[in-house]
Amino acid sequence: MTAKKRARRIASDEATAWARNLELGNPYAKSVLRALGGYVDGDGMCWVGIPSLASDTDLSQDTVRRRLGWLEEIGAIGRTPQWLDENGRRNGDGRGKRTTDLIRLLVDADIGAIEARAAGRDVDETPANSRVISPSWQQGLNSDTDDASPRPALGQPSQYSQGLDSFEPEPENPPKSPSGGFPDDHKAIEESEPTEFAAAFESYVGHEVMRRDLGLEQFRLLTPDDRAWCCHAVPLYMAKLRELKQRRPMNFHLWVRTRGFREFAAPGAAPAKPAAPQRRFVQGDELKGLAVATQIAERRELRVIRELDLGEGVWTQLPPQIDLTAMAAFAGVDREAWQVVDLGTPQFAAWRDRLALWTGAEPQAERIFLEPYDPNVHGVSSSNPNFRLRKSKQGFRVPAPWPPRRDGTWQVAGERE
């Protein structure tokens, strides 16, 4: 009795070489197929998810899904839906939660038939309306029996992809070829494109995975002035994204359709100059309130100048503030008698924000000592047995627990904070 022939084992390098030698006319699909070759086991099976393939190919996950559907349609791969049961075991019976599909590389299929379907032609050996030999995911790689089954047309969904939409949905129709649906005649393409389009589209970050045909369709709708404006604004938009640390812009055709380029200055337009801030001379109660705020925020006296025609005051570019005038009531009061709001409390935060608004600078907490200075314990060396640190805390010395309201009134005792 003749011993059964051992099944041929498929190595990753063999699967990758098979994928590399296929002429598909679809660079993205071929990139996905070659990436699958790195995950095959000895039976030509792959257990790899969409995110991993997207990372390997630098393509979006949607693009990978569409290319997998296209590869299945042309007979280069077969996919079987998989589930995980409550014990974490994979199964194809629909028990448990949907998980990554089982993908088989059909390396034993007729290469000529695959390439013919990829090119949109009927298989040469058989008439277009006949039943053809089509590799199936149900057929073993080492099977000696040819299973004849009708293959769906490229425009129809595969019978083997039914039920897959719950986990990794695929489009019903295969994606367009990388040419974007345009004819192969490059001269015709050049004549159909506005002269500014290529420069605008190709300088747009991520254009490699975007639909050129959609972008061109929207670009054609622009006026000549808007086309020049769009081309001029693309590098400005990319620079703004880098400044904001955003990696992905919106799709080019959406940016054009919503006229996103109009957020930037038109080419040749003079940049708008910011209006010069208006200076004003602070005097009276507002000057007294500013002096009190400076003592709290910076622990120093406010430097006042004398103008020949105006008198004493300070120049500022900040607008008038009624609540600052309310601080004038505490001018000349001994600060040591004021209360302390501790760093980290809501009262401290409220005073800090209001002082920054009044003075135009970020105030820093003050170190406030809680006991008088004693040279016998605080002024001796740290090695002295009598040495002791002087107790202190961080905060502000302020005349009230909360700053005045924006209308200049103060919170009364017992009022809800």
Tell me how many domains the chain contains: 3
Cα 356 to Cα 208, 267, 292, 298, 396, distances in angstroms? 48, 39, 13, 11, 13
Weakest mean pLDDT among 28-42, 88-102, 220-234: 88-102
Three-state secondary structure call for residue 398: strand
Q: Which domain holds residue 358?
A: 280-398
Q: Where are the alpha helices (DSSP H) in 120-159?
A: none
- 274 within some domain: no
Residue pair 20/14 in contact by the 8 Å Cβ criterion: no
In the beta sheet, which residues pair with residue 342?
A: 395
More confident residue, 305 or 182: 305
Assess if residue 253 is contained within a domain. Answer: yes
Average pLDDT, the chain: 79
Question: What are the tens digits of pLDDT across the range 279-320?
Answer: 899 999 999 999 999 999 998 999 999 998 889 999 998 889
pLDDT in tens, 233-279: 999 999 988 888 887 788 999 999 988 899 898 887 666 566 667 88
Residue 415 pLDDT grade (very low, low, confident, very high; cuts 50, 70, 90): low
Q: Are both 252 and 352 inside the same structural domain?
A: no
pTM of this prediction exceeds 0.75: no
* Residues 139 and 18 reside in one and the same domain: yes
How many separate helices (H) and strands (E) can be counted in the chain? 13, 10
Residue 86's pLDDT is 80
Phi-psi bin for 408: left (phi > 0), alpha (psi -120 to 50), beta?
A: left
Q: How many CA atoms lie within 13 A of 135 on its CB side?
A: 26
Q: What is the pLDDT of residues 70-124, one digit of tens each?
A: 999 999 999 888 888 887 788 888 788 888 888 988 888 888 889 888 888 765 5
Report how far residue 113's alpha carbon sits from residue 101's, in angstroms, rounded to the nearest whole number: 24
| Burial class (CB within 10 angstroms; exposed 0-12, middle 13-18, buried 19+) of 273 | exposed
CATH number of the CATH domain containing 53: 1.10.10.10
DSSP letter assigned to residue 124: T
Q: Are residues 19 and 157 in the same domain?
A: yes
93, 127, 161 - which closes a domain: 161
